[in-house]
Amino acid sequence: MKRTSKAEQAADAIIEALPYFKHFAGKTVVIKYGGSAQVDAGLRRNVCEDLVLMEAVGIRTVLIHGGGPEISEMLGRLGKETKFVEGLRVTDEETAEVAEMVLVGKINKGLVAEINLAGGRAIGLSGRDGNLVWARRAKPVAVNGENVDLGQVGQPRKINPEILADLIEKHYIPVVAPTGMGPSGEMLNINGDAVAGHIAASLKAEKMIFLTDQVGVLAEVGNPETLISEIRVEEIEGMTRRGIISKGMIPKMESARHALEGGVKSVHIIDGRVPHALLLELFTSEGVGTMIRR
């Protein structure tokens, strides 16, 4: 009797994942799924399968997604111009309406459907559902000595994680769009990394994972050989000053710091372009990307 090599290897792979299954069972993992990492349909399907698997082996799983590129595209179709001030989109009422429609009505539901097709039970939430994210308006930004109001842009003020806990307990996978509820109930657009960090902290998650389109934090720009595999939270400031942490990494590091200070055990920046990167990170001994910890 001869067994096919493939099935044999499959059984070995599963059994090697056993200690990880056991370790994470009942723990919470928060994933920030960046807009750029969502572009490839095949990889997106992979991510959704990974989420369903995580839930199936008992991980309490929450997904936060981004969506900047698609908002810009829709604004373009509507002939609406957007100003950026210091990298932040000035969000007037019409822009806000479009942003919410794209984030909540398009990207969020697309991910929900894809997770459900993969066998999961996803529920899409915005920051206004169940009062999940209460937000304050961002302060005006000084440009050439003049204060520019950013409009409906916000920062998390208070997270009410009950709705997440209630859904997780019933074996749903919450999928959260990065918006918040402002002082008058209005939608505020919030940086997705910030939302993820606040939610991870409010849930005292075991891990927060940024699924990005980068290898991780690199000591030398553009050189993946210089991947930094571990960063202590107290190193962030110096690395930012030295420019190692820059651009899109800055809000991720801010979010990581907030999460770690709030009780999250570790934060990971991994490369979503690698198929099943989440599984590799969680269930194999392969270290991928950069880990930030206290």
Residue 140 in the binding site for a copy of itself (CB under 8 A): no
Residue 166 in the binding site for a copy of itself (CB under 8 A): yes
Tokens of 21: 């299954």
Residue 5 in the binding site for a copy of itself (CB under 8 A): no
Cβ of residue 99: shortest distance to a copy of itself, in angstroms?
Answer: 9
Nearer to a copy of itself, 116 or 155 (CB): 116
Site for a copy of itself in 168-197 (CB under 8 A): 170, 172, 181, 184-187
Residue 13 in the binding site for a copy of itself (CB under 8 A): yes
Pairing of β 28-33 and β 207-212: parallel
Cβ of residue 237: shortest distance to a copy of itself, in angstroms?
Answer: 27
Burial class (CB in 10 A: 0-12, 13-18, 19+), 15: exposed
Site for a copy of itself in 84-113 (CB under 8 A): 97, 100-106, 108-109, 112-113
* Cβ atoms of residues 15 and 277 within 8 Å: no
CB half-sphere exposure, 181, CA atoms < 13 A: 15
The C-alpha atoms of residue 1 and residue 6 are separated, in whole angstroms, by: 15
Q: How far is CA 18 from CA 4, 12, 53, 56, 284, in A?
A: 22, 10, 13, 13, 10
Q: Binding segment for a copy of itself among 129-137, 141-149, 151-159, 199-207 (CB under 8 A)?
A: 129-137
Q: Binding segment for a copy of itself among 31-39, 127-135, 236-244, 246-254 (CB under 8 A)?
A: 127-135
